[in-house]
A and B are shown apart, each in its own frame.
Chain A
Amino acid sequence: MIMDDFLIRALIAGLGVAVVAGPLGCFVVWRRMAYFGAALAHSALFGVALGLLLEISPTLAIVVVCIAVALILVSMQGQRQLAGDTLLGILAHAMLALGLVVTALVDTVRVDLMAYLFGDILAVSDIDLYWIFGGGVLALVALAVIWRPLLAMTVHEELAAVEGVPVARTRLMFMVIIAIVIAVAMKVVGILLIVSLLIIPAAAARPFARTPEAMAILAIVAGCISVVLGLGSSMTWDIPAGPAIVLAAAVLFLVGGLLRKTSRSYEQ
């Protein structure tokens, strides 16, 4: 098989995203923030629309919108009127709807909605690659800086506060990192599937890892395998690449779970 240029770019982009999504996804799993991540991802389309409207980089606009939505969600955490999942559901879908509406309104150059919703990894450009690697490295470094404090907060937020962890600052940084990763991962799997790229490799790694760091590394490995398998099957059977990657990750998760069941896990 001839390794086409676009395929190599797709592979690099996919692997780049998998390397950041793995460790970040571990925290999304540990902190039970899958719905939070989904809400941010759903808001990303509004970021795209805003980018078109203001003629700025859509990636930048996505980061800004995601951070804004994250801040709104955090500031509403204390309220007691609405259950957390209800609030997330409302915000996620309202933002997605808003994104669709505004996109339609500013649609002068015909936006490829499918690409935003489900990813278009085979059309990754050099500029996209710069974003993925620039954003990815930034996110990884930031995550490394807050790794331990965030871990302590994940165990018990109040205990961490009592022990002197700068809780508010760490939480804010974590959200910014999620926003960045969502913005750069969107090209690969799209708004609707981003969260799966965060949580499935992490969940697949979980039963095999004995330390948080090992789980992060295994999640990276699982993510990279999924990208390779997904792109391969996309080429072989002419199926959409983003969904193929997610499916590959899900298969890994299942196989891993079955393997582990036969050899018994140490924790719940």
Chain B
Amino acid sequence: MSDTNTAAADNSGPAIAITGMHKWYGDFHVLKDINLTVERGERIVICGPSGSGKSTMIRCINRLEEHQKGSINVSGIELTNDVKNIDTIRREVGMVFQHFNLFPHLTVLQNCTLAPIWVRKMPKAEAEEIAMKYLTRVKIPEQAGKFPGQLSGGQQQRVAIARSLCMNPDIMLFDEPTSALDPEMIKEVLDVMVDLAKEGMTMLCVTHEMGFAKQVADRVIFMDEGEIIEQNEPNEFFDNPQSDRTKLFLSQILGH
């Protein structure tokens, strides 16, 4: 879009625009000609077999991985080697990983305020106020003073979501946020994500929770071998899959 040096987020266009993007790990062609536009407030679920490149694709969006060809625009800023652009984009994009990884020696509240205070230089009182707001939103304000080791896996993952929200992102990336959890804890985390979706957050979620996809996704994307094979709104995607690979994948995860 704009090629000025002043990397300022543009909130009028699409949230994310990926065109003709390729990525290699050495000789291994891991992402092939990815084209994807995500509108503001859109909720997207990405699924596909293990190794199909789902994580790699969303990790390219905040430059945890570098792409080699094509372009990625986030809020109108193109991802290049320009550190300033990367910084600006990372301010727009929050991420929740599969493993929650909270610091065991910091309380839940301190875990949430660490980055706002020390990276964003936010005053402590303000950071704590914001952290409490998001801990309330993920329904665990009463745990603020506890240490992560005293929380269940589901609670820890909700703290991870709150922690990410404290940085006030416009876009949230989730990489299988529930797949490391015991089954009885998955719902509490998904509920928090559903609330977030209802509030209009732009979300890209890699997940195999098809109930979640049906409930909140505007679009479901199926990836296989580094390509986007098919994308559709959830009902069409599940009831009327077009490609054989999608059918096979759906029969495997739904039909046991």
Contacts and interface: CB of A to CB of B under 8 A. Distances in A.
A152 B149 CA distance: 17
Given A156-B97, A163-B90, A149 B64 contact: no
A158 interface: yes
Contacts of B167: 163
A161 interface: yes
B105 A164 contact: no
A77 B24 CA distance: 19
A209 interface: yes
A215 interface: yes
Contacts of B197: none
A215 B105 contact: yes
Contact of A164 (B91, B95, B110, B111): B91
A148 B95 contact: no
B119 A164 contact: yes
A225 interface: no
B119 A152 contact: yes
A210 interface: yes
A266 to B, nearest CB: 6
A155 B95 contact: no
A123 B140 CA distance: 58
Contact of A268 (B87, B95, B118, B149): B149
Nearest to A147: B118
Interface of B: 62, 64, 87, 90-91, 93-95, 97, 101-106, 110-111, 114-115, 117-120, 147, 149-150, 167
B151 to A, nearest CB: 11
A240 interface: no
28 contacts: A149-B118, A149-B119, A151-B106, A151-B114, A152-B114, A154-B103, A155-B103, A155-B106, A156-B97, A158-B64, A158-B95, A158-B97, A159-B95, A159-B97, A161-B64, A162-B62, A162-B90, A162-B93, A163-B115, A163-B119, A163-B167, A164-B87, A210-B105, A215-B105, A267-B104, A267-B147, A268-B104, A268-B149
